[in-house]
Chain A
């Protein structure tokens, strides 16, 4: 039998004193850039029950970001919305499944992803360590903002009920769900699976699989940069965002997760400030984090907090 995963695991990450100031400055920079959204119907991907659009908007550093936007053909004048955030290596999917459940759905492709890589493309592997010694230029600075701007896009849509916006994703999408819920008070419910980008410096000791192994590769080649790497990552660690989350949250983890160590999932969950929070640890499951069981949990969670879909 494997060693039991410690539910009380404590992360080594510490929150920098100027964490809030750093991100407030990033948000200030982003706020000066118009969204300049473009919504293009995609008849090839649309069907009788779901209308599909390709979306483009401008984000930090004036990088143009792509997304898929789906809405049920039959919907209320104001419809609840779900933002889907992608995994590390995943090509952002067309979220027709959420639209079929009655939600308007946005699937964001942050910079470097397919369809958003013209101005920024560090590649895979590489994204995780791109400019990792400088928090002001680290790849995830813009990547996070690209996701948060997805909420701005939803708020700009007349068919979206601004009071009923949720966010969800797994793996990197789980980490992005955490940071988005932390930084955007308009998010009313968040469902994060197998959250990545949480406990970076713990994860590189707990596991030796990619993508976290990219950091170990980098430090093997540049051992003198370890402190600089840890300093940067502290600004991007989902655990340090968790105390800003106040909306209802559900988190699922696999206790045999070979990508995102479950210890980091516990550490994250313990730091989430929201009073309404649930953790679902799935024994005998890996990085899919018990999806076969948890899908229905997420559906009920959003139905409860965003209102029943049509």
Chain B
């Protein structure tokens, strides 16, 4: 597998030609005594204007940060559904809509399902090339914030979290749940569940494009990015026996350069979610994690 950074350098160079030019506006409706919320518009590759929610804790800082990289859904959340709002009292939180998601859906509005195969038969035209650039741009923007403690920056998300940490400096920690780009060409035919079913739908309709699709997917495979990741990483694996369980992700875990913990899902959003919150808090020096847990998760 080739070095992903070399393959991606032209895209990063192109991104660098577009300054972010952020436009930041306070959102009083979502601001509280413990945190102020801002809506941020900024430019990415294309040029394409993105949108994100930036929350800054009340106080002098510096603060640790969680960067919620673009998700695979149309909705952009301030913080993930079910997260205690008080998380925003301890961390800077920054959630970004990649191109196509709500608030960043003009001129390009993504479909779900549909995004995963948009332009997939041409690596240069594949929509995820732009979305990866968006995610990198998001991390670059976060690092400009003066309230930030740069030693405590968690990049959180699906495959994009790991890819972003590989392509851009600045992530001290990564929490990643692979879903889209780990050995996809081999795994997709073994499932009927979306989003990977999108690949099956596409190849059933356009079987002659299989080689081009597999070439594109190879350029996004997490195993090619892993050797570039030096951050301390929490790799969220599926339950035993699932397509992306600990065993399936072992080659990825082994390829990561930084310290890695592999967590295997217990198929309980409570148990899995609690583990992640405590893992992040411990590594970010937050000693009163109970305070920032959802009420029904507290001991």
> Out of B77, B83, B193, which one reaches A89, CB within 8 Å?
B77
A288 and B268 within 8 A (CB):
yes
Interface string of A269-293 (1 = CB under 8 A from B): 0000000000000001111101110
Contacts known (A88-B81, A125-B78, A254-B270); A218 close to B294, Cβ less than 8 A? no
Question: Closest CB of chain A to B174's CB: distance in Å?
Answer: 23
Chain A residues near B271 (CB-CB < 8 A): 284, 286
Interface string of B90-120 (1 = CB under 8 A from A): 0000000000001100000001110000000
> Out of A1, A89, A94, A208, which one reaches B81, CB within 8 Å?
A89
Q: Taking chain B's interface residues, is the majority helix, strand, or loop, or is none over half, making it mixed? A: loop
Question: Closest CB of chain A to B107's CB: distance in Å?
Answer: 16
A285 and B85 within 8 A (CB):
no
Chain B residues near A44 (CB-CB < 8 A): 201-202, 205
- The size of the chain B interface, using a CB distance under 8 A, is 44
Contacts known (A96-B192, A258-B82, A284-B268); A210 close to B295, Cβ less than 8 A? no
Q: Which B residue sits closest to A50, measured CB to CB?
A: B192
B82 and A259 within 8 A (CB):
yes
State in angstroms the CA–CA spacing of A89 and B101 once bound together: 12
Chain B residues near A96 (CB-CB < 8 A): 192, 197
Question: Closest CB of chain A to B73's CB: distance in Å?
Answer: 6
State in angstroms the CA–CA spacing of A254 and B86 once bound together: 22
Q: Taking chain A's interface residues, is the majority helix, strand, or loop, or is none over half, making it mixed? A: loop
Residue A158 interfacial (CB < 8 Å): no
A90 and B296 within 8 A (CB):
no
Chain A residues near B84 (CB-CB < 8 A): 208-209, 258
Question: Closest CB of chain A to B214's CB: distance in Å?
Answer: 19
Residue A123 interfacial (CB < 8 Å): yes
A209 and B201 within 8 A (CB):
no
State in angstroms the CA–CA spacing of A64 and B91 once bound together: 41
- The size of the chain A interface, using a CB distance under 8 A, is 49
Q: Which A residue sits closest to B197, measured CB to CB?
A: A96
Residue B60 interfacial (CB < 8 Å): no
Residue B299 interfacial (CB < 8 Å): yes
B194 and A217 within 8 A (CB):
no
How many A-B contacts at CB < 8 Å in the complex? 129
Chain A residues near B270 (CB-CB < 8 A): 254, 256-258, 284-287
Residue A220 interfacial (CB < 8 Å): yes
A286 and B295 within 8 A (CB):
no
Residue B297 interfacial (CB < 8 Å): yes
Contacts known (A91-B73, A286-B269); A114 close to B112, Cβ less than 8 A? yes
Chain B residues near A261 (CB-CB < 8 A): 295-296
Q: Which B residue sits closest to A88, measured CB to CB?
A: B81
A89 and B73 within 8 A (CB):
yes
Interface string of B169-201 (1 = CB under 8 A from A): 000000000000000000000001110010011
B205 and A206 within 8 A (CB):
no
State in angstroms the CA–CA spacing of A285 and B296 once bound together: 10
Chain A residues near B239 (CB-CB < 8 A): 292
Q: Which A residue sits closest to B53, measured CB to CB?
A: A125
A94 and B82 within 8 A (CB):
no
Interface string of B30-45 (1 = CB under 8 A from A): 1010000000000000
Chain A residues near B32 (CB-CB < 8 A): 220
Contacts known (A97-B192, A209-B83, A285-B270); A262 close to B296, Cβ less than 8 A? yes
Interface positions of B from 233 to 272, Cβ below 8 Å from A: 239, 267-271
Chain A residues near B111 (CB-CB < 8 A): 114-115
Nearest first, the 5 closest Cβ-Cβ pairs linking A and B are A286-B270, A258-B294, A256-B270, A286-B269, A91-B112
Supply 15 further A-B pairs (C-beta < 8 A) apart from A114-B111, A288-B267.
A2-B298, A5-B296, A45-B201, A91-B73, A91-B112, A94-B194, A97-B192, A124-B76, A221-B29, A255-B296, A258-B83, A258-B296, A286-B296, A287-B269, A292-B268
A-B contact pairs, 17 of them (CB 8 A): A2-B297, A2-B299, A43-B205, A89-B75, A93-B194, A125-B78, A207-B295, A208-B84, A210-B78, A210-B83, A213-B85, A258-B294, A262-B296, A285-B270, A287-B269, A288-B268, A291-B267
